[in-house]
Amino acid sequence: MNPVKRALDASDDYAKQSTWMDFALIKTCLCALGVMIGIGLPKESRKPAFGVAAVAYAVTYVAIMAKFLPMLKEHMEQG
């Protein structure tokens, strides 16, 4: 098995064993990294970087909600 496949398998195992708190910590860490990168950008690069970040946010948000909302609906109907 190649190293990339092993790393992805380890990531899947980590995700299966994680709680919402673990994911909140990861998101906070990544957000802080994004802020640090944003602060370090030259002024003329900030607008294009914002555009790329906004598109990435929109695409990933839609993908996440497309998976989460049906699960939420199912849980709400059960309770």
Residue type, position 50, single letter: F
pLDDT at 40: 95
What's this model's pTM, rounded to 2 decimal places?
0.72
**Residue ranges of the chain with per-residue pLDDT less than 70:** 79
pLDDT at 72: 93
Distance of alpha carbon 78 from alpha carbon 59, whole angstroms: 30
Do 46 and 38 form a contact (C-beta atoms < 8 A)? yes
pLDDT at 1: 76
Torsion of the alpha carbons at 60, 66, 71 and 74, rounded to the nearest 10: 160
